[in-house]
C-alpha cells in the first residue's frame, strides 16, 4: 500500500539513482483501486449478511468482498520490497533504520488520529487498521534490518507457516491484550477511556512484510530472470495452497466442505480462506496470485497500466484522499436520503434507517466515480514529487 521510498530521507545521502520498478507501481495501483471497492461497500451498501457467509450471502456479494482480500497482503508485501530497494540506495544503515522507525511511528499516529477522525464520525472509537500494522511492522523492521538474511528468512517461515498453530484468544481482556495484538482476529478493547478496534494483528502481517523484504533482491535482477522466478514462486504458492486446502490438513481454521447449493458454492467454500488473522492458506493464495501478476506487470502497456502506475506512485496520498472522499460522500448521501447522517461502516444494524436498502449497484457506481475522480489529484501529486525533494514528501 505504501511506497515507503519515493525520495531521500533527510540526512541520508543517496547512492546513484536507479529507476523505479514499474511492476511494483502498477500492481500497487491495481490493488489500491480494488481496495476502494471494499471501502465503498462498507459506506454505501453494508449488508446484514456477512459477505463471507456462503450459506446466506449472494454470490456477487461474496465475490465483491473476496476479490478485495488480495489487497492487504499485496500492499504489505510490496512495502517490504520497497524497504529493501530503499536500503540499497543508501549508504548508512543506521540512517535507514532511523527513517523506518520515524516513518512507522508517523503511520501509527496518522491511523490513530487522522484516519480515526475521518472514518468514525458519530462513533467514539479508535481504529488500528492496516496503516497501523504497516507502521508497527516498520518500527520492528528498523531493528530487524540489522539481522542476517538467513535469520530473517527463518523468522519469516516460522511466522507464516507456524502461526496457525496458535489459537485465537477469547475473550480479549486487558491482561492478554498484548498477545492478542500479536496474534488474534479482530477485537475491541477499551483503552485510554475509548473502545479500540484492532482489526489487524501484528504478528502474521510482520511475516508478510519480511517476505517482501526478502523478495526485494529479485527486483534488481534482469527482467527475464526476475519474471521467471516470480512465476515459479507464484505457481509454487498456489500449488501449496491447492494441496493443503484439498486435504483440509493444515493452514486455515475454517475447512472447506461440499455445499448443498451446488458446485459453485463448493468452489467458493474452497477459496474462502481466513483473512483475520491471515492464515497460511490465505497468504499462499493471495501472494501466489500477486507474484504472478508482478511477473506480467513490468511489460504492461496502455492507458490502464499508466493510470494504475500513477496511483501506485503516490499510494499514501491516494489512500488518505479516497477515505476522505468516501466518508464525506457517505455523510452527505445519508443526510440527504434519510434526514440524518448515518455511518453505515460502523453502525449496528438496529441503528440503520428504516428506509435504507443495501445495493451493490450503488456501491459499484460510487466506487467507479471515486476512482476516476482520484486520478487527477494523484497525477498532480505524482508530478509534484517528481520535481521536488522536500524532506516531508517521504512521509506523504
**Interatomic CA distance for residues 6 and 86, integer angstroms:** 8
- 3-state per-residue secondary structure call for 220-267: HCCHHHHHHHHHHHHHHHHHHHHHHHHHCCCCCCCCCCCCCCCHHHHH
pLDDT of residue 281: 98
How far is C-alpha 96 from the geometric centre of its chain's CA atoms?
23
pLDDT tens for 17-57 read 456 889 999 999 999 999 999 999 999 999 999 999 999 99
Peptide bond into 17 cis (omega under 30): no
Place of cell 511477473: 295
HSE-CB for 321 with a 13 A CA cutoff: 20
Neighbours of 391 (CB within 10 A): 11
pLDDT of residue 171: 87
pLDDT of residue 168: 87
pLDDT of residue 18: 55
Place of cell 451446488: 262
Q: Domains of the chain: which residue ranges? A: 22-352+362-395
What cell numbers appear for 100 in the block?
Answer: 523506518
What cell numbers appear for 9 in the block?
Answer: 530521507
Q: With a cut of 50, which residues of the chain have pLDDT below it?
A: 1-17
Dihedral pair phi/psi, residue 221, rounded to 5°? -85, 160
pLDDT of residue 8: 41
**Interatomic CA distance for residues 31 and 63, integer angstroms:** 15
pLDDT of residue 158: 97
DSSP bridge partners of 127: 197
pLDDT tens for 98-133 read 999 999 999 999 999 999 999 999 888 999 999 999
Long-range contacts made by residues 183-191, C-beta under 8 angstroms, separation at least 24? Answer: 183/277, 184/277, 185/276, 185/277, 186/276, 191/126
pLDDT of residue 392: 78
pLDDT of residue 90: 82
Dihedral pair phi/psi, residue 2, rounded to 5°? -110, 125
Amino acid at each position: 500500500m505504501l511506497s515507503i521510498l519515493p525520495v531521500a530521507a533527510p540526512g541520508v545521502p543517496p547512492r546513484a539513482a536507479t529507476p523505479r520498478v514499474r511492476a511494483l507501481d502498477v500492481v500497487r495501483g491495481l490493488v489500491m483501486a480494488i481496495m476502494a471497492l471494499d471501502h465503498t461497500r462498507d459506506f454505501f451498501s453494508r449488508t446484514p449478511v456477512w459477505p463471507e457467509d456462503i450459506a446466506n450471502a449472494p454470490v456477487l456479494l461474496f465475490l465483491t468482498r473476496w476479490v478485495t482480500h488480495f489487497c492487504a497482503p499485496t500492499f504489505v508485501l510490496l512495502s517490504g520490497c520497497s524497504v529493501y530497494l530503499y536500503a540499497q540506495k543508501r549508504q548508512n544503515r543506521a540512517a535507514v533504520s532511523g527513517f523506518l522507525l520515524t516513518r512507522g511511528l508517523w503511520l501509527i499516529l496518522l491511523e490513530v488520529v487522522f484516519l480515526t477522525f475521518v472514518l468514525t464520525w458519530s462513533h467514539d472509537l479508535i481504529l488500528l487498521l492496516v496503516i497501523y500494522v504497516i507502521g508497527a511492522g516498520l518500527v520492528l523492521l528498523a531493528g530487524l534490518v540489522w539481522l542476517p538474511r538467513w535469520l530473517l528468512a527463518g523468522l519469516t517461515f516460522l511466522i507464516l507457516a507456524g502461526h496457525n498453530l496458535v489459537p485465537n484468544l477469547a475473550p480479549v481482556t486487558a491482561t492478554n491484550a498484548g498477545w492478542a495484538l500479536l496474534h488474534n482476529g479482530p477485537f475491541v478493547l477499551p483503552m485510554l477511556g475509548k473502545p479500540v478496534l484492532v482489526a489487524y494483528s501484528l504478528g502474521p502481517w510482520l511475516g508478510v512484510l519480511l517476505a517482501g523484504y526478502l523478495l526485494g533482491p529479485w527486483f534488481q535482477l534482469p527482467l527475464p530472470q526476475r519474471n521467471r522466478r516470480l512465476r515459479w514462486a507464484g505457481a509454487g504458492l498456489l500449488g501449496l495452497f491447492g494441496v493443503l486446502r484439498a486435504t483440509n490438513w493444515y493452514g486455515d481454521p475454517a475447512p472447506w466442505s461440499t455445499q448443498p447449493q451446488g458446485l459453485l458454492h463448493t468452489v467458493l467454500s474452497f477459496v474462502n480462506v481466513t483473512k483475520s488473522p491471515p492464515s497460511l492458506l490465505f497468504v499462499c493464495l493471495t501472494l501466489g496470485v500477486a507474484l504472478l501478476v508482478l511477473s506480467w506487470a513490468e511489460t504492461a502497456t496502455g492507458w490502464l497500466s499508466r493510470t494504475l502506475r500513477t496511483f501506485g506512485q503516490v499510494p499514501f496520498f491516494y489512500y488518505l484522499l479516497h477515505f476522505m472522499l468516501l466518508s464525506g460522500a457517505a455523510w452527505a448521501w445519508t443526510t440527504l436520503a434519510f434526514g440524518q447522517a448515518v455511518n453505515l461502516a460502523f453502525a449496528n444494524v438496529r441503528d440503520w434507517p428504516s428506509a435504507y436498502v443495501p445495493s451493490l449497484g450503488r456501491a459499484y457506481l460510487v466506487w467507479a466515480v471515486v476512482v476516476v475522480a482520484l486520478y487527477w489529484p494523484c497525477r498532480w501529486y505524482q508530478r509534484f514529487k517528481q520535481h521536488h525533494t522536500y524532506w516531508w514528501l517521504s512521509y506523504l
